[in-house]
Structures are given as structure tokens and as C-alpha cells.
């Protein structure tokens, strides 16, 4: 995503970030100590700031080996919505929070996002990142018939050194 987008993803309070997209955020943005120093708990959000871009870490579970609940996702997204307003963020890119390795239902999480961001002035893009374009692009088109756009040449989120497929599953422009 362009640098004028702030980014968000779900993590555990233990901040291990050893799998999925969280692992890539950890390798790119580092500063895990700064995140832990904020001493946030599950159902909240911790963040880093890179110039005018915020990197939001939604704390949706206590330990990496646990699974989030819809209640913890809702609480973290509520806090994210508050921070978006507080920080004046106008563009946000997130992945399907809780729906990848954690296996929550995207349609339900999407409704949570729509409801909690409906009164903000933030454009939200929900993306899916993968290494295997052939396998996952067809699967996602079936699971998400409203897929907006597929970009085949996204080089990085910021300074990511490997290519990923960026599929925009959902885009909401509010107000």
C-alpha cells in the first residue's frame, strides 16, 4: 500500500508475531520493545508511527497459540476506530483481521468493521497478501465474489523485499 495509508493487523498480547502477516510486520517495522512498553492488553490497540503513517497492532488474544473471539475483535476494532479519529487518519489498509490463521468468518468481521467505521472519515481497504497467486486468487474470487481488484506487482508494504499478491477484498469510503 502507498505510504499515505496507515496499516493495521491483529496480534497477540505476547507480541510473538511468528506467523502470518504479523511476522512480516515484525520484520519490517521491528520496534517490538516500543509496542510492549505501551503495556496494552487484549481488546486494545498498540501502534508505531513512521512519519505520518501509523502502524496499528490490534491485540485480539492473549497468547499467540490462542484464537481470538468476535468479542475481542469487536473491542480491538472499536479502539482502532477511536485511534483513527484521534490521529486524523484518512486512509487505512488492514487484512482480514482474525480470518487468516485464526479462522474467524470474514463476513461477520466485515460487518463489525462496517458498523464501527461508519461514522469516521476514513477510507478502509481490506487486503489479502499471499505468495501463491494461482492457488489463492481463484479461491478468493469464489469466497469473495465482490473482490474489487487484484494487483500482481505489489513490491512491498513499505520495504518488504519479497513480492506478494495484494487482493483488495473490500473498500469502504465513509462520510
Catalytic residue flag (residue 156): no
**CA 76 from chain center: how many Å?**
11
Strands of the chain, DSSP E: 6-12, 44-50, 53-61, 91-95, 123-130, 149-154, 164-173
Catalytic residue among 26, 61, 91, 164: 61
Q: Cα Rg for the chain, rounded, in angstroms?
A: 15
Catalytic residue among 43, 102, 110, 125: 102
C-alpha to C-alpha distance for 20 and 130, rounded to whole angstroms: 9
C-alpha to C-alpha distance for 147 and 167, rounded to whole angstroms: 7
Return the C-alpha torsion angle 140, 141, 147, 151, nearest 10: 80
Catalytic residue flag (residue 91): no
Q: Which residues are catalytically annotated?
A: 61, 102
Amino acid at each position: 500500500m502507498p505510504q499515505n495509508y496507515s496499516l493495521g493487523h491483529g496480534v497477540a498480547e505476547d507480541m510473538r508475531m511468528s506467523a502470518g502477516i504479523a511476522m512480516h510486520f515484525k520484520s519490517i517495522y521491528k520496534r517490538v520493545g516500543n509496542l510492549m512498553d505501551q503495556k496494552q492488553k487484549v481488546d486494545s490497540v498498540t501502534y508505531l508511527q513512521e512519519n505520518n503513517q501509523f502502524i496499528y497492532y490490534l491485540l485480539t488474544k492473549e497468547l499467540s497459540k490462542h484464537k481470538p473471539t468476535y468479542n475481542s475483535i469487536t473491542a480491538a476494532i472499536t479502539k482502532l476506530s477511536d485511534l483513527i479519529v484521534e490521529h486524523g487518519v484518512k486512509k487505512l489498509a488492514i487484512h482480514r483481521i482474525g480470518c487468516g490463521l485464526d479462522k474467524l468468518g470474514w463476513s461477520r468481521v466485515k460487518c463489525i468493521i462496517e458498523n464501527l467505521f461508519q461514522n469516521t472519515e476514513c477510507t478502509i481497504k481490506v487486503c489479502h497478501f499471499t505468495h501463491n497467486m494461482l492457488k489463492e486468487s481463484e479461491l478468493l474470487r469464489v469466497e469473495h465474489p465482490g473482490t474489487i481488484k487484484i494487483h500482481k506487482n505489489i513490491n512491498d508494504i513499505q520495504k518488504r523485499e519479497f513480492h506478494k499478491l495484494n487482493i483488495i477484498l473490500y473498500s469502504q469510503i465513509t462520510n
